[in-house]
Amino acid sequence: MESSRWKYIAIIATAALATVLIALLLVNIFTRKQEARQAYVAVTNLTEDTIEPAEWGKNFPREYDGFKLTSSTGPETRTRYGGSEAFSKLDQDPRLKTIFAGYAFALDYREERGHAYSLRDQDETERTKKKPQPGSCLHCHGSMLPAWRAAGNGDIQKGFEAICAMPFKEARQKVTHPIGCIDCHDPKTMALRVTRPGFLNGIKAYMKTAKGIDNYDPNTMASRQEMRTYVCGQCHVEYYFKPEGKAVTYPWAKGLKIENIEAYYDEIKFSDWKHGETGAPVLKAQHPEFEMFNQGIHSRAGVACADCHMPYKREGAMKVSDHWVRSPLRNIERACLVCHPFSAEEMKARVETIQDRNKALLDRAEEAVVALIHDIKDAKEKGATDEQLAPAFKAQRSAQFRSDFINAENSMGFHAPQEAARILAESIDIARQGQLAVRGLNLANAPKLRASTK
C-alpha cells in the first residue's frame, strides 16, 4: 500500500515534469520560430529618403552590426593578394607607372577597402584632387538615389544624367553618405533591388544581344539568386563615361567577355587617353569582377557573389547575411565550407595556388607590355611615323587592356582562373607581336600583326 502510493506520486511527478519540459521546449521552439519569422521589429518607418544606415539599423540591428565593420582596415586585414588595407599598387608594382603613363592612375592607385570608405577614398585620391573629374564618379561611391531624384525632379534617369554632367566638386555637394542600405534594398519591403542606371541600361543592352530579351529589367525579371549577384554587379564592373555628357556606361552591348568589350570600344573609337610615352590611344580597365565572375565555374554552377562575400551566420534561430562585405579568405569557414567539405587551410591553399599562378602570368604579361612600350618609344625617337607605328599602337592597346583587365579585377584570377589565363596568354602574344611589328619596320617582310586568336 505504502509503496504503491509512492509509485503513484512518482508517476504523477514524472508526468508533470515531462509536461513542463515539453511545454518549455514548445515555448522555446515557438519563440525561435517567431524570432526567425519576425525578422525585425519595425521601430522606425523607413522611406526612400532614409539614407542614414544607423536609422535602418534600428529595425535591423544584426545586419547593421556587420555593415559597420566594413570600416575596419589596416595591415592585419591583408590576405596574400587582397584584404582591406589601402596600400599603393603603384609602389608594389612600378611597371604600372609605365603602363598608365600620362593618365591619372599613374598618380595614385590603391588596393580597395571596405564600403564605409567609398566616399572618403574618392575625395582623398590624387585622381580627384589633381585632375578634374565629372560627377559620374559618384555613381558607385555614394548613396545616390535622393540626389538623382532631386536633380531629375523625380525622374532618376534624368537626374543621373544631370549629375554625371556636373564637375565632380559640384556634384559631391549633393551626396552625404557612402554606400548604404538604400543602395541594395527597397525600404518598404527590404527586397533586393538594383538602383544604378549604369547597370540597368547596361544589362538591358546585354540581354537584348545575348539572349534576345527586350526591355530586360532585373528588378522585376531576375531570380532571387541572380539578384544576389546583380546588386554587386551594379558597381563592380568595367565602365566608361560617354564622351558627350559623361553618363556612366557599361560596355556590354556585344557581350561580357573582354573581346566583346574591346570590339565595343573599337567600334565607337573610344580611348581613355593617349599613352604618355607612345601616343597610342589606349584603354583603362576598371574592376571587372562581374564580367570575369560570369566566365567562371561558380557562376556556371549558380553560386552568387553574396554566397561567398556575404555568407549566412547564425544568431539564435536566425540566419543573418553577413553584411561585413570583405575578402572571403578572412571568413573561409562560412564562405566556402558550406559547399566544400574540406578544411579552411585546404581551401585557402587552393585559392592561393590559383592566385600565385595567375600572378606569375600577370607579371609576364606586364613585362611584355612594358617591353613593347619601350620599343615603340625607341622607334619614335629614331623617326618612325605614327602611320608606320599603327600596328604597334593597336597591339599596345589590345595587350595593355588585357593585362590591365586581369590586374584591375580584384580576385587575382580566382573568380575565373582559366579565363584569366587565356586573357593573359593573349596579352603576352599580342605584345610580342607588336614588338616584332616595330622591329620589322625596316624589313621588306615586316610581320603582320595578328591581334586576335581567331
Q: Which residue is nearest to ligand HEC (CB)?
A: 82
For 182, 192, 407, the CA distances from 366, given in Å and listed in that order, are: 40, 39, 9
Q: Pick from 55, 82, 172, 175: which binds ligand HEC (CB under 6 A)?
A: 82
CB of residue 393 vs ligand HEC: minimum separation in angstroms?
24
Q: Which residues in 240-269 contact ligand HEC (CB under 6 A)?
A: 248
Q: Pick from 336, 369, 376, 430: which binds ligand HEC (CB under 6 A)?
A: 336
Does position 368 interact with ligand HEC (CB under 6 A)? The reply is: no
Comparing CB distances to ligand HEC, the nearer of 183 and 262 is 183
CB of residue 413 vs ligand HEC: minimum separation in angstroms?
9
Does position 291 interact with ligand HEC (CB under 6 A)? The reply is: no
Q: Pick from 172, 174, 177, 185: which binds ligand HEC (CB under 6 A)?
A: 185
Residue with cell 597591339: 395
Does position 290 interact with ligand HEC (CB under 6 A)? The reply is: yes
Does position 190 interact with ligand HEC (CB under 6 A)? The reply is: yes
- The strand pairing partners of 320, in sequence order, are 313
The secondary structure of residue 109, as a DSSP letter, is -
- The strand pairing partners of 383, in sequence order, are none
Does position 224 interact with ligand HEC (CB under 6 A)? The reply is: yes
Degrees, nearest 5: CA angle 360-362-367: 100
Does position 424 interact with ligand HEC (CB under 6 A)? The reply is: no
CA distance linking residue 258 with residue 361, whole number of Å: 17
SS3 185: strand
Does position 287 interact with ligand HEC (CB under 6 A)? The reply is: yes
CB of residue 30 vs ligand HEC: minimum separation in angstroms?
21
Q: Which residues in 99-118 contact ligand HEC (CB under 6 A)?
A: 109-110, 112-115, 117-118
CB of residue 94 vs ligand HEC: minimum separation in angstroms?
16
Residue with cell 539614407: 51
How many binding residues for ligand HEC (CB under 6 A)?
Answer: 90
CA distance linking residue 161 with residue 136, whole number of Å: 8
Comparing CB distances to ligand HEC, the nearer of 248 and 373 is 248
Q: Which residues in 12-71 contact ligand HEC (CB under 6 A)?
A: 39, 53, 56-57, 60, 63-64, 67
Residue 313 belongs to what H/E stretch?
A: strand 312-315
437 grid coordinates? 611589328
CB of residue 381 vs ligand HEC: minimum separation in angstroms?
32
Name residues whose C-beta falls within 8 Å of residue 141's C-beta, 6 or more positions apart in sequence.
Answer: 118, 119, 122, 178, 179
For 148, 321, 330, the CA distances from 325, given in Å and listed in that order, are: 25, 10, 11
User: What's the full length of the chain, in residues?
Assistant: 454
Q: Pick from 327, 396, 427, 435: which binds ligand HEC (CB under 6 A)?
A: 327
Asked whether the beta carbons of 369 and 431 are under 8 A apart, the reply is yes
Does position 307 interact with ligand HEC (CB under 6 A)? The reply is: yes
Does position 326 interact with ligand HEC (CB under 6 A)? The reply is: yes
Does position 236 interact with ligand HEC (CB under 6 A)? The reply is: yes
CB of residue 400 vs ligand HEC: minimum separation in angstroms?
17
Does position 237 interact with ligand HEC (CB under 6 A)? The reply is: yes
Kindly provide the b/e burial profile for residues 175-208, where b requires at least 16 CB atoms within 10 angstroms of the residue's own CB. bebbbbbbbbbebeebebbbbbbbbbbbbbbbbe
- The strand pairing partners of 167, in sequence order, are 134
CA distance linking residue 318 with residue 128, whole number of Å: 43
Comparing CB distances to ligand HEC, the nearer of 380 and 415 is 415
The secondary structure of residue 347, as a DSSP letter, is H
Comparing CB distances to ligand HEC, the nearer of 271 and 321 is 321
Does position 218 interact with ligand HEC (CB under 6 A)? The reply is: no
Does position 193 interact with ligand HEC (CB under 6 A)? The reply is: no
**Among 304, 298, 250, 26, CA closest to 139:** 250
Q: Pick from 197, 202, 328, 434: which binds ligand HEC (CB under 6 A)?
A: 328
Residue with cell 599562378: 357
Q: Pick from 321, 359, 364, 439: which binds ligand HEC (CB under 6 A)?
A: 321
Q: Pick from 293, 393, 401, 405: which binds ligand HEC (CB under 6 A)?
A: 293
Asked whether the beta carbons of 108 and 96 are under 8 A apart, the reply is no
